[in-house]
Amino acid sequence: MLIDFEPGDYVENPANKNWGIGQVQSIIGNKVTVNFENFGKKVINIEYVKLEKIENG
């Protein structure tokens, strides 16, 4: 599984867009901790949940 983002990047969960934009806090193995603007901190297993990176610019 290729992880194409790193801490500090902004992402969203296409399946739960109401969570808002999240900022990646840490990545450990397949688990990515993201702090979402509307949902708070969430640990996401990227084997099961696809996150989309938001390009800045």
Domain extents for the chain? Answer: 10-48
pTM of the model: 0.89
Q: What is the pLDDT of residue 55?
A: 81
Q: What is the pLDDT of residue 53?
A: 93
Q: What is the pLDDT of residue 51?
A: 94
Residue found by looking up tokens 């934009």 in the block = 21
Cα(38)–Cα(31) distance, rounded to whole angstroms?
Answer: 20
Reading the block at residue 39, the tokens are 């949902």
Could you give the angle at the alpha carbon of 45 between the alpha carbons of 57 and 54, nearest 5°? 5
The rounded average pLDDT for each run of 10 residues, N- to C-terminus, in the chain (57 residues) is: 84 96 96 97 94 81
